[in-house]
A and B are shown apart, each in its own frame.
Chain A
């Protein structure tokens, strides 16, 4: 626990800031959440004022007298393994074993704000910051050792956290050199980091640090976290998105054993009980009257609705040559419209948070991917100074973007306030998660292109109909319902990315029509925009290849002027045993048609390269698509942990097969109706294909992200494979059996 004693044991750094004593607290901090009492609860003593500055070495690192290292990371592990990978990066630069490093993540009082954990940036940005901090620290440790040993730093080596002369002899441990004291040093962005040729830890498949505990029930997830005296809360959301709460009858739940309190604030409604089961029963049995609201468009008219929505601005993402003229001069012209359904995050563990207020300070434990931003949002909602709010990250169930965790944190904040600060845990029900997490917005894309007589693309035009807004904070549901301060603008993520092409086309115009609104509050879900845009681009490119009568992989190579991309596609041809021929395949007899499709992306046109080949079987009678194999070649530059990257690629493939073949939000005029796994089906084990991965490792290059890029190519690879198998083009995700059958009937 960070006790007053522990805090006072610390030293005043030269900067005068009080830091926590790491010899004691380094390990205790690592267990934040592991013990029921909540070891990192702010104690009554002096405030924890460890540096959290992004440019301070002390922001990222602390070394105890025992030589143990604590790494403070603003990037958090969302189940992707970055705890292990970031620890490897620090271990490499410091020359200490991975086991000696304790990882503290996403605590606004202890970790620097490295930005939200999204966008496949944890290694690429967060890891580099940590690498630089560690290298700066190492340099200073060497210099200190040089002074003490009376030899030039160049004659020293570090081994397992001990500095000694290259010639041998006794050394000085990091604990002796800096133990429990501040570095008081700015991160040197130009510091010399290790030569990749001498990497010992980076580039190795170090086993994930969390897996033994996660496979044996010893791990403490957000959902397991308990605080003494904690009560249990549940929220009762409106039955229609914008329904108004008319009346609530507390007597309907007063006799439920353990019931403590009903909390109403505007349209925000919650129940609090002594036990979780009491809270569940109270939420289920509470009688409340709401106004009718039927403002949603009919699901069957979704795309007409999107097309009719007011455009507030156009983002032109590429404009080369003159497409109008070139289009007219083409030998062949094609056009098509693609659409991609609304998706839910559908986190497997519904959102959960604990909050308490002590001495006017609010502490919130959350699985948020952005605790630093959440802190600002909660402070605004509660009308509290930001300094009085602390958010502490605890791992939740897989998070693929801004889901419901932040909202549940807001719920917990309102409920603890209603209990005069007594800790309250909020656990969403399944229907809360499916109904109220923000959604991946619907995407509609029109494409037109022209080929010259040789089958080259001479003109390409595309229009993407997507909601306005960028990355930012997504308003908290409880703040909206309660009428408390919240953001008014939408934040769907940076969804214009990859609307432009990675290919060389002489005349090109790609434009994103930004829509004034969308049906459900949007947010980013894994590969936001990049997935939908790549799906349309790479499927339409396939249409052009077919129209040109050219093998689709050759067609891509023909238009690709990027050597790394070309190498990737050539390796993909080998990995997938690609047979060069135009699509569709000739043999169209039989009940089950087999085909293969290729897709390619250069993520955001400036980083990770991925190519994939899908192999599918399409049942012509049932319309069922079975993906039998995925071959993926992945180049994210320097690889920190190869098995970790493979795990992410496999996850991207399977998660996105699920999204492509099965997932689709449903709703009526009032509300989401796909509120469980029965109405929102996802991939199951019998549907899992073989996955072959060729992972390029380029130790001399920058490390790029791997959490999302490979998801971008999955829908188009499947669509192209279905076309190869059947000659039928699928342009509407998800490719459910009824849609496939309808497309096949239309084609005949």
Chain B
């Protein structure tokens, strides 16, 4: 039987109809809500492409069952962070540093970095590297990503 699950996504209260309340959040965001920011990469929590913020903390939506969320938990995706017209400072820094190749990992990189900077506004380079250590990039964009995060934190 379909279940209605209330969610708070990008500042708006909404609901999704799902067959299985244990379905990971990723599929609700992508399939039910049509969002493109969080991406499917492994479904195992290993690569970080699916990263979103839940109450401001970076979380892997591919291994976060809907049933583990309460309606008041605030989910924010890459779209909720900013837009091409009004980008978040981390997004702007990635644009300024041209820190993208294919860009498939970039959702995770930006979301992870934004969560880091919210907690630690002026991280050291080692702290940035540690924060992104479990986010995989296959194209080899790491050097630019590090520059972008430093730029966003004003430590470049």
Contact = CB atoms under 8 A, between A and B. Distances in A.
A350 interface: yes
Given A216-B83, A348-B136, A211 B98 contact: yes
Interface in B4-30: 18-20, 23-24, 27, 30
Given A396-B102, A398-B101, A691-B143, A277 B138 contact: no
A348 B41 contact: yes
Which of A36, A258, A280, A654: most chain B Cβ within 10 A? A654
B49 interface: yes
Given A347-B138, A348-B138, A216 B39 contact: no
Interface string A411-453: 0000000000000000101100000000000000000000000
Looking at chain B's contact residues, the main secondary structure is loop
A385 interface: no
A363 interface: no
A727 B140 CA distance: 30
B40 A350 contact: yes
Given A79-B103, A223-B40, A677-B42, A397 B140 contact: no
A682 B136 contact: yes
A225 B51 CA distance: 20
A676 B103 contact: no
Interface string B103-133: 1111100100000000000000010111011
A67 interface: no
A276 B27 contact: yes
B18 to A, nearest CB: 8
A207 B105 CA distance: 19
Interface stretch (A309-317, A458-466, A645-653): A645-653
Interface string B88-110: 00010011001011111111001
Is the interface on chain B under 10, 10 to 19, 20 to 34, or 35 or more residues?
A: 35 or more
A651 B140 contact: yes
Interface in A45-93: 78-81
A650 B141 contact: yes
Nearest to A655: B140
A215 B110 contact: yes
Nearest to A278: B19
Interface string B64-87: 000000000000011101111001
A215 B100 contact: yes
B101 to A, nearest CB: 5
Given A214-B106, A215-B94, A350-B40, A677 B19 contact: no
A281 interface: yes
Contact of A211 (B83, B94, B146): B94
B67 to A, nearest CB: 13
A237 B92 CA distance: 42
Which of A214, A275, A429: most chain B Cβ within 10 A? A214
Contact of A217 (B2, B79, B130, B135): B79
B46 A685 contact: no
A166 interface: no
A684 B134 contact: yes
A678 interface: yes
Nearest to A273: B19
Contacts of A658: 140
A395 B100 CA distance: 14
Interface string A262-290: 00000000000001111011000000000
Given A348-B137, A677-B47, A78 B143 contact: no
B14 to A, nearest CB: 16
Contact of B36 (A207, A210, A221): A221
Nearest to A79: B102
Given A218-B79, A348-B105, A396-B104, 11 more contacts: A212-B87, A217-B36, A220-B36, A257-B20, A348-B41, A348-B47, A348-B49, A677-B42, A677-B46, A685-B133, A685-B146
22 contacts: A207-B98, A208-B98, A210-B103, A214-B100, A214-B106, A215-B94, A221-B39, A223-B40, A276-B31, A350-B42, A398-B101, A429-B43, A650-B143, A654-B141, A676-B44, A676-B46, A683-B140, A684-B133, A685-B135, A685-B142, A686-B133, A688-B142
Interface of B: 2, 18-20, 23-24, 27, 30-31, 34-37, 39-44, 46-47, 49, 77-79, 81-84, 87, 91, 94-95, 98, 100-107, 110, 126, 128-130, 132-146
Q: Which 5 A-B pairs have the closest CB atoms?
A: A79-B102, A654-B140, A217-B37, A257-B19, A397-B104
Interface of A: 36, 78-81, 205, 207-208, 210-221, 223-224, 226, 257-258, 275-278, 280-281, 346-350, 395-400, 427, 429-430, 643, 647, 650-655, 658, 676-678, 682-686, 688, 690-691
